Structures are given as structure tokens and as C-alpha cells.
Amino acid sequence: MKAKWLTASLLSVGILTAVSGQASADTTEIHDIQGATHQSSYVGKTVQQVEGVVTFTYKLNGAYYFHMQTPDAKADKDSRTSEAITVYTGKYSQDVKVGDLVSVTGKVDEYYIEGYSDKRTMDLPVTQINARDDQGGQVAIKAENVTLPKAVQITKQNLPKSVIDNDQFTKFDPNEDAIDYWESLESMRVAVKDVKAVAPQEYGDVITVLKSRHTDTKNGGVLFEANDANADRVQFKLFGDNVRDYNVNTGDEFNGTIEGVVGYGYSNYKIFTNIENMQKTYKQGKATQETTKLKASKKKVTVGSFNLENFSNNTAETSNAKAEKLAHSIANSLGSPDIVGVTEVQDNNGAKAGDSKANESYERLIKAIEEAGGPTYQYVNIDPENNQDGGAPNANIRVGFLYNPERVSLKSGAPAGDATTAVGYNKKTGLTVNPGRIDPTNEAFEDSRKPLAAEFTADGKDLIVIANHWNSKGGDTPLFGQVQPVNLASEVQRQKIANVVSDFVSDVLAKNPKANIVSVGDYNDFQFSKPLQTFEKAGMANLIHKVPTNERYTYVYQGNSQVLDHIFVSKSLKNGAKIDIVHVNADFTEQAGRASDHDPLVAQVKLK
């Protein structure tokens, strides 16, 4: 067998040989295999000489695949059954090309072609025919240059907008459930006209919505809400050269028709298409990176929050370009806040083996900020125990602070804490250790970052700031996954963390009801989530609620703009407090200036 690399192709093949005729009663058609269901009834069975027209070819993870679709004349009249199927041929392409009429023999299975390590328990499989010739499969080319089946048009009339799944797969309802809609089109040729990006290109994927659809954010994204997961997002997986370098940002448009085939991978249905199909319809949008709208005031303190996305002094892992962009964001975009709570600061070696010290990482960032025109910050840090706080192995990510000594000072009197000593509060003297970690040996923080509290002084008034980086959403089931409704497994730990941090804040406020407290960081949860509502009940006001709706997001995940980073203040600071989310990252690719996957935010408060 001749091994041959076939690039993905959806090229039209002109006026070509037509295919006609009806299937005989004992012929297995693709729609028979697919059925009106997510799970084929043919799984484990060998099917003989199933015919279809090749519509797409590609290679993933060293294996060859092609999609084939029933000629239009042989299609059934049931829109719920897909007329196409994925064919797996192993190490060899079988030399098929788009427009070939082929006959395939092989075993039907439901396979998880592409995804994360937990894909078998999280994702949906793809119905495919295993036609590997070393496992009894056969692919015979019966004709070439055959007219391709017509592409199904995806429109606002047939694309479900509000519901992903509401029946736990008990009913196959493509008219209402988006998860069933895409399954009814699995592997088929589709076409969509006039779309706009709701996220920056990432890993060769571009996520869009129909251009006629109302979008929520100032840059053209869609907001993830408690009761709206934006079921009508349309995701493209691009094939071709340098697809991961394609500079598409939120709000960019694609004016014209884009054709492709429906696939699935990494927890989402996607339209597989060539990058050229996107490029020829592309129009740049209006998104631009921001600077804060907050104006400096000598009588007020500004506190920022910034997830630095794995920043270290290891230049092989954290480039100088990234350091410069982060520094510019802090010095200029955020307006050089008096205090900045930072998350995902790695140790000096990054992910290389070594100890957990991060002094060089902080010093690198401080120098870069100074070179960008900002102040000469000082840092507040407690090195964690080695490999105990989650994140990349050996990197020892932690939370910490930068502060401008010309504006605020770290309150003196209390000794500095360490990785395992819990910080407390004394009404007369303040924090018992400064800085100090909040209950760091509590099981709530297993394999997660311990919150850091530090007490600062500004104009003779004390301010306690807490930096947080709560456990990630790893373990939650995906929106378009096999578990419905979605299981928020990771929320259990965040609720425990919320209880611990709430207890600390409640203790401070019980002893000093007028205490000035600001809590910042990446909470890895939404403003409407149970853990954050728990924290609000402890006497902390989430300033996110003051942000205009169209700017209320700090992160974009799979096309959903959402808030993961928050700034809370004690109620004594709420009145008059201002907040600004500065959109410089979440809507943009690295080519467009992105420095982190999170947008930073900054608050301004008047101390009491």
C-alpha cells in the first residue's frame, strides 16, 4: 500500500458524473447505520460495501480519515438521520480523494477520535467505520469526479438557540436540542453563511455565531449566563498550513458561505473546513485593546487583579515578549495600581525541577514594569511547599502581591508567615502574620492555591487584601458532552474554599466591623455560582455587579464570555467603590497583543 499524505480538501469538483438509483432492500445505507440516535445500533457489526461519496479527507494524530456521504438520490426522507459517516483507514489514506464514489467494508464503532485524556467519560463519540485493511476493512473506488451531495444550510431557522439538551438523551429532538441537531448532521456536508467570531482563534479553532444574531459584549462576544450557555455557537476546526497562527479575534466577521463537514473533538461539535474557506470571507472587526477608565486620586487606593498565566523567570517557558506585554498591561493598561494581586506566578525555574522560590520571577516582572514606564514595585510572597498547590508539576504556582511603596506600605509589626502557618486577626494589631496564608493546611486547599492575606497602610489607614486562586473547573463535564445535565464536580472544592475564606473574613469583621478588606483573584467561578454567593453572604460585596453588562467578562471559554476574576470589598468600602475590567487579552490572539488568557481588572476604593 502506498502511504500518501492527503491534505484536507473540500474543493468543488465541477460538473461531474452523477450517481442515481435506489438501494435494494438488503443494502445497508449510511442513514441505517447512523439512525435517529447518538449511538448506532450497528456498533460491533461488520457492514459490507456501504457506498458514499468522499467529501473530506484529513489526518489526525498520525491516522487517516475521510468522510463519505450518501448520494442525494439515495438519501432517506428523515432529517434526523445523518447521511454521512466517518471512515477510519489507519496509517494509510487508501488514496481516496474528494469526489470519489467508494464502497466501504468494515466494522462500525463509536470512537473518541480527538480529545483530552478523560474523553471516554466526558465526550461524545463519533460513529465511524473502521476500514483498516489489516483488520479486514476494504475501500474500493467505484467512480471518480462524482457530484458532491448538497450541503445542508445552517440558518437561524433550523439552528437551536436556547437549548443544548433538556431530556438527558431520552428523546432525539434536533429541532429543540442543539446536541441532537449536530448529531443529526454528524459527518455531513454543511454550509453556513455570514458569521462573526465570538472568541479569538485558538488551537486552530474559530468559534462563531450567525452574523444576524445579537451579541452581548462590546467587542462582539456572547455572555455565558446562569440560564444561557449560547447553544447556537458554531465552531470551526481549520485544516491547512499554520492554522494556529491565524489572527482572528472576537468580533471579526466572515461574510459569505463557508462549507465543511461536521465532526466532533475536544468536547464540541465542529465544522471541519480548510483555512482558505475562512480567509476568503474574512473581514476584520473593531475590537481594540483598552486602557482603564479609572482616574488616579491621591485620596483613593487602586487595587488590581491579574492572572499572569504561568509567569516565571525561565525565559524558555516565559518569553521576553510575554513579560513585556504583561508589564505594559500593568504599567499602562491598568494605570499602575497601588496594589496588584497576581496569580499563576511560578517559581524561578518554571516547570523545571527545583525548589519553590519565586524571588527571581517577581524581580523579572518588576523590572519589566519599570522599563514600561511604571513604578518600581515591591512584592509580597510566601513560597508554597514543593508541588503541593496544583498547576504544572514543579512550577509551584502561587498568588502574591505587587505594591507601590510610594503609595502604600506593608504594615509592620507582625512577622511574615510561612507555607503552613495560618494567619489570624487581632483587633488591636491586625493580622497575626503579615503576609499570611489562610488556613493553609485545611483539606479544602488540597492540590490548590492557598489564599494569601496581606495588610497594607495608606494615609494612616489599614487595608487587608486577599489574593485568591481557587481550584479550576477541571472535572466538570462539558456542555456538549455525554453527561447531561452538566455535572459541576469541581464546584464541591470551591464551595469548601469559599467556606474557609468566608470564615476568615467573618472573623475579621466580627472583631472589627469597619475593617477595610479587598479580596481579589481568579476564583474560577461565576458571579451567580454558589461558592461566590457564599462569599458575598460573609459580608463581602462583589464589585463585578457594578460593571456594565456588555463589559462583564474576564475570560472567554469555547466562545462563551464569562467572569472568573472578581474583586470583592467589605461593605464599608462598597459605596463609592469603582471597578473596571480592562479588556486586553480574552478577546485577542497572541498576534494581536494577548499576554494572558485572562483580562485584568482594577478597583478604586476610599479607605475608612
**DSSP bridge pairs for 59:** 64
Q: What is the pTM of this model?
A: 0.94
pLDDT given for residue 8 in this prediction: 35
Pairwise CA distance, residues 545 & 594, whole Å: 25
The average pLDDT across 172-199 equals 98
**DSSP state letters, 180-236:** HHHHHTTT-EEEEEEEEESS--BTTEEEEEETTS---STTS-EE-BTTB--TT-EEE
Flag whether pLDDT at 315 surpasses 60: yes
Question: Which three cell numbers, joined as nine digits, stand for 244?
Answer: 494556529
Flag whether pLDDT at 10 surpasses 50: no
Nearest to 28 by CA among 106, 80, 135: 106
Pairwise CA distance, residues 195 & 218, whole Å: 17
Question: Which three cell numbers, joined as nine digits, stand for 209?
Answer: 455565531
Nearest to 427 by CA among 382, 468, 466, 462: 462
Question: Which three cell numbers, joined as nine digits, stand for 9?
Answer: 480538501
The average pLDDT across 115-134 equals 97
Q: What is the pLDDT of residues 394-421, one digit of tens each?
A: 999 999 999 999 999 999 999 999 999 9
Q: 260: pLDDT confidence band, cut at 50, 70 and 90?
A: very high
The average pLDDT across 117-126 equals 98
Flag whether pLDDT at 22 surpasses 90: no
Q: Which residues of 381-404 are buried (b: 16+ CB within 10 A; e: fewer)?
A: bbbbeeebbbbeebbbbbbbbbbb
The average pLDDT across 225-238 equals 98
**DSSP state letters, 465-489:** EEEEE---STTPPPTTSSSSS---T
Q: What is the pLDDT of residues 543-600, one digit of tens each?
A: 999 999 999 999 999 999 999 999 999 999 999 999 999 999 999 999 999 999 999 9
Please identify which residue in the block is written with the cell numbers 456538549.
Answer: 480
Flag whether pLDDT at 203 surpasses 70: yes
Flag whether pLDDT at 20 surpasses 50: no
The average pLDDT across 216-236 equals 98
Pairwise CA distance, residues 558 & 209, whole Å: 12
Angle at 243 between CA 240 and CA 244, to 5 degrees: 155
Pairwise CA distance, residues 474 & 391, whole Å: 11
Flag whether pLDDT at 21 surpasses 60: no
Angle at 301 between CA 296 and CA 302, to 5 degrees: 70
Q: What is the fold of 30-143?
A: OB fold (Dihydrolipoamide Acetyltransferase, E2P) (2.40.50)
Interhelix angle for 320-328 vs 359-371, to 10°? Answer: 60
Flag whether pLDDT at 489 surpasses 80: yes
Question: Which three cell numbers, joined as nine digits, stand for 482?
Answer: 455525554
Q: 5: pLDDT confidence band, cut at 50, 70 and 90?
A: very low
β-pairing, 436-437 with 452-458?
antiparallel
Q: Which CATH number fits domain 301-605: 3.60.10.10, 3.40.50.800, 3.40.50.2300, 3.40.50.80?
A: 3.60.10.10
- Please report, for the chain, the start and end positions of each structural domain, with discontinuous segments joined by +: 30-143, 152-283, 301-605
Pairwise CA distance, residues 531 & 536, whole Å: 9
The average pLDDT across 349-372 equals 97
Q: 23-37, 55-69, 221-235, 491-505: which range is least confident on average?
A: 23-37
Instruction: Decide: 437 and 423 in contact? Cβ < 8 Å.
Output: yes
pLDDT given for residue 26 in this prediction: 66
Percent of the chain at pLDDT > 70 equals 96
Flag whether pLDDT at 538 surpasses 50: yes
Distances from the Cα of 2 to the Cα of 92, 94, 139, 165, angstroms: 7, 8, 14, 44
Amino acid in position 15: I
Nearest to 555 by CA among 579, 590, 581: 581
- How far is Cα of residue 106 from the mean position of the Cα atoms in its chain? 36
pLDDT given for residue 27 in this prediction: 84
